[in-house]
Amino acid sequence: MTVKIVRNARIYTSEGNSAAAGNDQGEIRFFPKGAMVIRGGKIEAVGPEEEILVSANTADADEEIDCGGRCVIPGFVDPHTHMCFARRREEEFSLRLAGTPYLEILQKGGGILSSVRSVREASDDELFEHTLSLALSALSLGSTTIEMKSGYGLDTESELRMLSVIRRVGRESPLDVVPTFMGAHAVPELYRGNGDGFVDLIVEEMLPAVERQGIARFCDVFCEEGVFSVPQTERILVEASSRGLGLKVHADEVHDTGGAALAARMCAVSAEHLLAASDEGINAMAKSGTTAILLPATAYSLRKPYARARAMIEQGVPVALATDCNPGSSFTESMPFVFGLAVMAMGLTVDEALTAATRNSACAVGMGTVCGTLEPGKQADFLVLDGETPAILAYHAGVPAVEEVFKKGERVW
């Protein structure tokens, strides 16, 4: 097995296999002159350089990586994306800038439904190439694990095709890719005015097929006014859970419909978006331990008020961060951009944001024992930054601070 020594690194990492909440969210371990021993792609030891280099058997090391005093953090885990799509929607961005609301575009057959048309028209290879190129761009920006949702197929065959493209991106790139089935992303044209009929299709045909193919880890539903109601969402989630899928909810993104409370009641792993979440919703999430996946780039792109991250942390809700990368409401694959917004616009401390973008986001996609922190036994997924502290990600605004990306101990960027 290959042995690598990382040294001369200012190492910052959260510690733990489960999501951090409250004060724990801001607890970061710091080794000013740190080192790591990596064996077979996994971290064997991490700590102060003088201790690590003495106790480890460094003589048999195959490679030494001198970080030159730069900052090292865990690779970002992006736990919420719609990165599998075939075509951008620039024309729609201009419409939104001119004042047309996001949901109005969807109701007129654009938005998600426009992406559905282009995904259905694209060949498997076209869809794969487009998704892969976005995923590799995200990797170059520091994402080493990415969740990807289906939801631009909206019929059984097209949803399964999306999930198999998503699986292929995981196989043919250095990334860990976590697939989420999101057949309930919008009501397709064929079912306009018959949302319940479409929910029947999801429950009776799509979820059984997804289970048979073992092709998704989570199920997500867009619970929103005019999209899927709370009872419809619940029906889908109950079925998904009985078929072995973990649960996620797009909750209270545009309107507060009680999605956060539903996610808590269903013991979902996460409720995501939450721009309009109520106090009751936040409270319920704190009690159930449901993670809030916050997507500040979506608030930025929709020109909406940011989610109330401080209230969530103060109430004890574990907070994670994600890009929401999609061609409509948030066209960015950059976790550094999201990190900057979290600190500058949502008021997270740098330490809280670091936990949110690594440990908590890993836990929110079921990867908390595999990655998200720099601790013995975890994958050696880490980033070398052009700076002394993770604050560089917010401080050097709009300029790439991620200089090197390592996945399972290999330099992949």
User: Which two three-digit tokens encode residue 311?
Assistant: 């209230």
| Six token digits for residue 225 | 């006014």
Residue 115 touches which of Fe ion, ligand NIG, none (CB < 5 to 8 A by kind)? ligand NIG
Residue 256 binds: one of Fe ion, ligand NIG, none (C-beta under 5 to 8 A by kind): none
Instruction: State how far the alpha carbon of 255 is from the alpha carbons of 39, 239, 258, in Å.
Output: 48, 25, 9
Show the tokens assigned to 142: 């520091």
- For the CB of residue 272, give the shortest distance to ligand NIG in the complex, in Å: 7
130 binds ligand NIG (CB under 6 A): no
The answer to the question of residue 327 lying near ligand NIG (CB under 6 A) is yes
Q: Which of residues 262-291 bind ligand NIG (CB under 6 A)?
A: none
Q: Which of 324, 333, 352, 375 binds Fe ion (CB under 5 A)?
A: 324
Q: Of 298, 323, 332, 334, which one interacts with ligand NIG (CB under 6 A)?
A: 298
Interface with ligand NIG, residue 252, by CB under 6 A = no
- Are 305 and 274 in contact by the 8 Å Cβ rule? The answer is no
Q: CA-based Rg of the chain, rounded to a whole angstrom?
A: 21
Give least dist CB 110 to Fe ion, A.
17
Rounded CA-CA distance 302/24 in Å is 31
> Whole-angstrom Cα distance, residue 81 to residue 357?
14
Helix axes 335-344, 350-357, angle to 10 degrees: 140
Q: Is 111 a residue that touches ligand NIG (CB under 6 A)?
A: yes
25 lines the binding site for ligand NIG (CB under 6 A) = no
Residue nearest to Fe ion (CB): 324
Question: Which of 8-16, 47-55, 69-77, 111-119 is the region at the interface with ligand NIG (rule: CB under 6 A)?
Answer: 111-119
Q: Sketch the per residue contact string, 62 through 101, with ligand NIG: x for CB under 6 A, - otherwise.
A: --------------------x-------------------
Instruction: Write out the binding residues for ligand NIG, residues 181-220 only, by CB under 6 A.
Output: none
Stretch that binds ligand NIG, among 30-38, 137-145, 320-328, 332-340 (CB under 6 A): 320-328
Stretch that binds Fe ion, among 102-110, 312-320, 324-332, 342-350 (CB under 5 A): 324-332
* By CB under 6 A, residue 333 contacts ligand NIG: no
Residues of this chain that interact with ligand NIG (CB under 6 A) are 82, 111-112, 115, 222, 250, 253, 298, 324, 326-329
Residues of this chain that interact with Fe ion (CB under 5 A) are 324
